[in-house]
Chains A and B, each alone.
Chain A
């Protein structure tokens, strides 16, 4: 998982509450990504960012928001509009995001549970 940290490891959300998942990387990568993992469904892309102050929606962006104010940080907020937030959330990064041959490297993940 080296170079990418996610916190917290476990997060509990109360109904109607917004929560923020942290992702930090020290790999000097330009591109960062957020994926959601549900059992038997693989990984699905929520948001990605190729450069600071720019990001694009992925396949399942509804109920989520992101910011990219610093190169090394890409926090994900799970809003109250996300009705089924229980999942394992994975952050990834790659050097530029523009080269299609690049490898993405993943953080250790955050498990979000609803109280």
Chain B
């Protein structure tokens, strides 16, 4: 079955420290991977996506993600966390099949302390 896993419900980091939010996937064929962020009572905002090419993808607000095919992972990273980065983060995969929607992980709450 196609799936996305975010193994951590919550990640806590101090402001200024690097952050990592983990995501692993299980799909047949080539995966198309996305990261979204959600602030309280708001819709999802697109951060970045991996389609093909360079395994390091740069996105909005200083975030980047590293695609690792051998480990089937797509971890979200940022070199220096801000308090304003505190939010709920979702990893999602689009199946290699036209006409399908996204499959989302359960989300990871990032809390950045000052």
Contact = CB atoms under 8 A, between A and B. Distances in A.
A56 B41 CA distance: 27
Interface residues of B, number: 27
A1 B41 CA distance: 12
B100 A42 contact: no
A114 B49 CA distance: 36
Given A42-B104, A111-B41, A99 B98 contact: yes
Contacts, number: 67
Interface in A67-115: 88, 90, 92, 97-109, 111
A37 to B, nearest CB: 8
B14 interface: no
Interface residues of A, number: 32
Contacts of B32: 100-101
Contacts of A102: 94
A39 B101 CA distance: 20
B58 interface: no
B98 A90 contact: no
Nearest to A101: B51
Contacts of A107: 43
B101 A33 contact: yes
Most A Cβ at <10 Å: residue of B96, B98, B101, B106: B101
B8 interface: no
Nearest to B91: A42
A62 B102 CA distance: 19
Most B Cβ at <10 Å: residue of A42, A48, A106: A42
A92 B90 CA distance: 15
Interface of A: 1, 4, 6, 33, 35, 40-45, 48, 50, 56, 58, 88, 90, 92, 97-109, 111
Interface of B: 9, 32, 34, 36, 41-46, 49, 51, 90, 92, 94-102, 104-107
